[in-house]
Structure 1
Amino acid sequence: MGQALPSVGLRPYLPADAILLAAIFVESIEGLTGDDYSEAQQQAWMSAADDEQAFGARLGKDLTLVATLQSSPVGFASLKGADHIEMLYVHPSAGGQGVATALCDALEKLAATRGATKLTVDASDNAHDFFRKRGYVDQQRSTFSVGDEWLANTRMQKTLAGAPPKGPLQ
């Protein structure tokens, strides 16, 4: 008989989490995006956590949740305003254990309680399928520069439960 996976816990972000979440951010990019982004692109992306204090301030200005397994932080996600997922990162060692799902479920519920009828995310290429399987629909493909590197993502949108469906031009 298989062993049950530990359940995912969620808690609010605390300023003391900044260093650990910066490490999860870097390890997530380093360990999970190599099939979609070059090493130079990954390095540019990871540079957002070089200044841990600024990274922590960025997390603190949004509604950020920390996911834990057996009381240890393994991921985090941020809701910007009422209707945009700003960040969603999971440590590679916690992949496949429901961490991203728990974080996304919570952000979707929080967005709805804030009055949002839709939720958007700028999904990296490696996260695109995760969001698509959750009902997010492609809206626009974008490229942006980080330092000397160009990265791509896709703006995706999901209509939240109870909200009337809207197309990209409505």
Structure 2
Amino acid sequence: MFEIRRATPSYAQTAFEIRLQAIRHQCIGAYTEEQMLAWTAGAAEDGYDVLMDKYFYLGCIEGEPVATGMLDLENSEIGAIFVLPGFMREGIGLKILSHLEALARGLGLEEVKLDATLNAADFYRRFGYVGDEPAVYHSPSGLQLACVPMVKGLSL
């Protein structure tokens, strides 16, 4: 059974590990190995853990976390949608995305934005996100990665 639940700080390392595995599996070819290793270096305590204070969610199967997703309400931004490799292509990413969009709508946002990784832009386009112009994402750690800024209007 699949459920989505709010993450607590005790799940920071689990969420970080889901992110690491998803990036290293799904982003091959879109980014260099050097970029992926730099992107996934460190530990949850290096700053990822503070995301648990936002609207950060875990997608769980039989109670075990297999996916993550976050709504940054201050910036009207969806992020951190990652799915463990063994559970990719089962609709879990869409379930997380839909949950975050419904949450954003319920909190009064008229649109949401995100920075899609190069390999994920087509996924977001299939679900109504608009954006084609490449840009550079500047991570808090100083890493710079190519991305595609996208936006979606939320009809009520």
Normalising by structure 2, we get a TM-score of 0.90
Give the greater-gyration-radius structure (CA).
1
Partner of 2:72: 80
Q: Which runs of 5+ in 1 are unaligned?
A: 1-6, 163-170
- Write the deviation string for residues 17-36 of structure 1: whole angstroms up to 9, x where unpaired: 11111111110111110021
RMSD (Å) for aligned C-alpha atoms: 1.8
Corresponding residue SS for 1:76: strand
Partner of 2:31: 37
User: How much has 1:87 moved relative to structure 2?
Assistant: 1.5
Partner of 2:9: 15
Corresponding residue SS for 2:28: coil
Q: Distance in 2 between matches of 1:144 and 1:104?
A: 20
Q: 1:157 to 1:139 in 2, by over 3 A?
A: farther
- Identity, in percent, stands at 25
| 1:65 and 2:50 correspond | no
Normalising by structure 1, we get a TM-score of 0.83
Q: Is the 8 A contact 1:30 1:42 kept in 2?
A: yes
User: Aligned pairs, how many?
Assistant: 153
Corresponding residue SS for 1:138: coil
Partner of 1:92: 85
Counterpart residue identity of residue 68, structure 1: C
Q: Is the 8 A contact 1:120 1:155 kept in 2?
A: yes
Q: Is the 8 A contact 2:12 2:52 kept in 1?
A: no
Counterpart residue identity of residue 127, structure 1: A
Could you list the runs of 4 or more consecutive aligned residues of structure 1 that deviate by over 6 angstroms after TM superposition?
none
Counterpart residue identity of residue 71, structure 1: G
Deviates more, 1:147-156 or 1:83-92: 147-156
User: How much has 1:51 moved relative to structure 2?
Assistant: 2.9
Q: Is the 8 A contact 2:13 2:43 kept in 1?
A: no
Deviates more, 1:107-116 or 1:148-157: 148-157
Q: Distance in 2 between matches of 1:155 and 1:61?
A: 24
Q: Distance in 2 between matches of 1:129 and 1:30?
A: 19
Q: 1:92 to 1:161 in 2, by over 3 A?
A: same
- Write the deviation string for residues 67-125 of structure 1: whole angstroms up to 9, x where unpaired: 01121100100100162103211111110111101100000000001111111010001
